[in-house]
Structure 1
Amino acid sequence: MSGFIQTLLFSILLLININVSAALPTAIDGNNLPSLAPLIKKVSPAVVDITVSGGNKTSPQDSKDLLDFFRPNASAQSKPRPQPFSGLGSGVIINAQKGFIITNYHVIEHADKIIITLISGRQHEATVVGQDPQSDVALLQIKSKTPLVAITFADSDKLQVGDFTIAIGNPFGLGQTVTSGIVSALGRSGLNLQNLENYIQTDAAINSGNSGGALLNLKGELIGINTAILGPNGGNIGIAFAIPANMVKNLAQQLSEFGEIRRGILGIKGGEVTPELAKSFELDINHGAFIYQVTPNSAADKAGLKAGDVITSVNGTNIRSFAALRAKIGTLSAGKKVILNVMQDDQEKTITVILGGKGSTSLTTTTKSPTIIFEGAILKDAEKGQLIPGINVAQVERNSDADRLGIVKGDVIIAVNRTKVTNQQQLIAELKKAKNMRALNIMRNNRPIYIILD
């Protein structure tokens, strides 16, 4: 039956005063129809509305002021001045005794005043316990004379695509609203929203104002904090993203204990395991985080990780990309023990790492480099009896292509992909032969690194 005919019949029934709702069954074979109402009644007191206000010190009054500010003779009067603003968002109570509420950093950014409205209508002014722009998470606290209700965390690492989801938040300031959907995808990154990205994607209807609200499973447990949507003007098109609950839990613990994130440091540079890279390096896997370089004396170095390794899981959870690895490690605290599954020298290994702390070199994503590698570099073939057989980089001209690639004087090029080279003729031949991708394996200060050319 077409939608038009259904609508027409429904209208006719209304016109002749037939009680349509009475005609609909409330049970089948004596069993009540399934409903989310009991679950929502239980968990909705743990989801709050957030109203913020303040003066954004970086916002110009209007476009004319902005133009004046960049003129050579700009006066103090033409510079951007504090501009009052207000905003709406959502939050989730995660500790009833302490009054802790988790939300997005971008919800409370620049706010001078934060008002929490409970489902009962009671309002409380919140203070900021800690915040982390990199993960877009903030921890707030309220003091309530009446008991609060806190949410229970799920293990978000156990989520599967197709699992049902329930979103609760405050879209467009309408007040608490419930929508439902499924997990559309896991481990989403590359959205250029924040520095640490490992999002749950859902098709539950999420709109502007839902930020910081709860994404739940059918047990009423928190599986994520709704953070972003893809859609024009803040409207829903069925693609929304949430920070996984395990990441939120780790960050909230640090914010409550220290008031800041004391981020664990692994100490590697790397990139994605693309099909081209997997084929060039003869890898039997097509996902994970490929290590280009290990920082000397870092946590990774001390644990035995090497350039060319592929990290495939963290603490038993599969890693699909380098971005996912970065997000996982970036939400763990310094000193934390991490168990990594690694492909090393064509063997699967389990490596335990104790994450470093502040002052260590963090995980860095290495971007692809230009294909021209020799301009500005003087290369010399391996000498007889050379300790590390390979092509020696005798000189690198400053600001040349070789310099921009990261090649430095003293490097020894020992292989292209996995094929060893000892002279320039072999080097050029292997570079021409490599059809999928080209990576230089270089020994620098007796340590291997990779430089990806294309």
Structure 2
Amino acid sequence: MRARVMMALALAGLLLPGLAPLAAEAAAPSIPPSEAALRYSFAPLVKRVSPAVVNVYASRVVQQRVSPFMDDPFFRQFFGGGGGGAPRTRIQQSLGSGVIIDKSGIVVTNYHVIANADEVKVALSDKRELAADIVLKDERMDLAVLRLKGAAGPFPVVEFADSDALAVGDLVLAIGDPFGVGQTVTSGIVSALARTQVGAADYQFYIQTDAAINPGNSGGALVDMDGRLVGINTAIYSRSGGSIGIGFAIPSNMVQVITKAALSDGKVRLPWIGAEFQQVTPDLADGLGLDRPHGALVAGVTDGSPAEKAGLTAGDLVVSADGIDIDDPNGLNYRLVTKGIGASVQLGLLRGGKPANATIVLASAPEIPPREELTLKSESPFQGATVVNLSPAVIADTGYKGRRTKGVLIEKVDDGSIAASVGFQAGDVVVEVNGQAVDATRTLAAMTGRPADLWRLTIERDGRLIRSTIGG
């Protein structure tokens, strides 16, 4: 038995001669090769970047109706106050972060930080508090651009990096003001790229990081190890409201689209190709002979559009753009938006299961028919609604997701109007009124200019038809 054990040990020594040294090496911790490595710190990077990261305070005045019980003198004598159920005003505030990207005092933040704000103030790292104008805001991208007032520059800035150069595993820092406690820096890595199912904005394409991001970090900076801006922190995945290591940032290449627009004429013009795309599901992937669901499937092409001129047809599957793989329609939209109007994009396709290519020139969406914006004032269910004619430009501007390409879109509904009380919403499309098709804003204005005992209405909302009858 002893001889057999010794033989086994000997064979082990012959077959695995390096086992003992490797085990010893793994057990011993490595020593930093130099004092500089031992003292490595993010402090110099943070010192350079943090002055350009600011706190953003947004406020708005809202009407708050007091309980109707206050109309009764009996209740008022116990609870005090007067005026009955008359509305009272209160200040609604939101807190976020922002990044200075231009020495003249241009700040980028999230749309949701300043949405509907009547007043915006920005607190700098040197404790100064300045008022700011909203130069541009875009709900589709969840981005906004502010301009500081009341102080001369130059202000400290963070330079942009190419977010497409990021790789999973790269070190990043998140800088912002979580929970309003003051400027905070957290570190982490890029956990994933091209996340498109987050749902924080229409144009979904995010950098995922495990750097701690909490409420108040929205609009703050995600920077690389060169101290350059790779993203604007915008959302977290959390059931408790606190960070669990899954945060999302809008890539800097997308942020540059809106900042360039703000520094030019203040209008965001997104490229248009005139094609509709749909997600490739597992069932569709099987039908297309794919080994996995990926790409953006062409569902339809508009006559005379750049897509038609490039030869795209329904059934084509877009699998790459300028050599970069496309996983879904959101990924394709990101590539097109960051290229910009006037640029050309080489699309890699699968057509009938065979590879093909198409070169497409990105254009501005045409406003055909003309917008012809009208605010309806006659007494009707639409009183207080602002409507426009549907066109590719209107669809691009409003982010309309319905199925119609022609008709009348409700662009805005005034608070307290009849349209608001009926329940109309921005984004609704008016299809029919009293059995008559609505093809233009002027048609709708003429229809609503005549009194009616009953209003039979057909509205499209989120791709669904809603029919209702309302008394005149």
- 1:358 CA drift (Å): 4.3
Q: Which residue number corresponds to residue 392 of structure 1?
A: none
- Equivalent residues in 2 for 1:327-346 (5 A)? 327-330=334-337, 333-345=340-352, 346=354
Once the two structures are overlaid, the 10-residue window that deviates more, 30-39 or 134-143, is 30-39
- Equivalent residues in 2 for 1:233-312 (5 A)? 233-283=240-290, 286-312=293-319
Distance 1:331 1:55 in 2: 36
Distance 2:264 2:113 in 1: 22
- Equivalent residues in 2 for 1:109-120 (5 A)? 109-120=115-126
- 1:168 CA drift (Å): 0.2
**Offset from partner CA, 1:14-48 (integer Å, 9 cap, x none):** xxxxxxxxxxxx97544342211111111111111
- Does 2:143 correspond to 1:145? no
- Equivalent residues in 2 for 1:36-435 (5 A)? 36-56=42-62, 60-61=64-65, 82-96=89-103, 98-143=104-149, 144-283=151-290, 286-330=293-337, 333-345=340-352, 346-359=354-367, 360=392
Structure 1 segments of 4+ aligned residues over 6 angstroms from their partners? 62-65, 76-81, 363-367
Distance 2:178 2:171 in 1: 20
Which of 22, 33, 36 matches 1:31? 36
Higher relative contact order (CA 8 A, sep 6+): 1
Once the two structures are overlaid, the 10-residue window that deviates more, 237-246 or 325-334, is 325-334
- 1:258 CA drift (Å): 2.2
Which amino acid letter does the alignment assign opposite residue 356 of structure 1? S
**Offset from partner CA, 1:118-138 (integer Å, 9 cap, x none):** 111122111111110111000
Distance 1:301 1:274 in 2: 25
Change in CA separation of 1:168 and 1:277 when aligned onto 2, cut-off 3 Å: same
Q: Which residue number corresponds to residue 374 of structure 1?
A: none
- 1:191 CA drift (Å): 2.8
Structure 1 SS opposite 2:95? strand
- 1:331 CA drift (Å): 5.5
Distance 1:366 1:79 in 2: 39
Which amino acid letter does the alignment assign opposite residue 338 of structure 1? V
Distance 1:239 1:63 in 2: 41
Q: Which residue number corresponds to residue 4 of structure 1?
A: none
Percent identity of the aligned residues? 42
* CA root-mean-square deviation: 2.8
Change in CA separation of 1:184 and 1:269 when aligned onto 2, cut-off 3 Å: same
* Unmatched 5+ stretches in structure 1: 1-25, 66-75, 368-454
TM normalised by structure 1 equals 0.66
- 1:313 CA drift (Å): 2.7
**Preserved CA contact (<8 Å) 1:131 1:259:** no
Change in CA separation of 1:105 and 1:81 when aligned onto 2, cut-off 3 Å: farther
* Unmatched 5+ stretches in structure 2: 1-30, 70-82, 368-391, 404-472
**Preserved CA contact (<8 Å) 2:122 2:130:** yes
**Offset from partner CA, 1:389-433 (integer Å, 9 cap, x none):** xxxxxxxxxxxxxxxxxxxxxxxxxxxxxxxxxxxxxxxxxxxxx
Distance 2:86 2:211 in 1: 43
Structure 1 SS opposite 2:271? coil
**Offset from partner CA, 1:298-340 (integer Å, 9 cap, x none):** 2211221111112223344332211222344356654443332
Which amino acid letter does the alignment assign opposite residue 85 of structure 1? Q
**Preserved CA contact (<8 Å) 2:161 2:228:** yes
**Preserved CA contact (<8 Å) 1:131 1:260:** no
- 1:199 CA drift (Å): 1.1
**Preserved CA contact (<8 Å) 2:106 2:146:** yes
Change in CA separation of 1:29 and 1:165 when aligned onto 2, cut-off 3 Å: closer
Once the two structures are overlaid, the 10-residue window that deviates more, 346-355 or 195-204, is 346-355
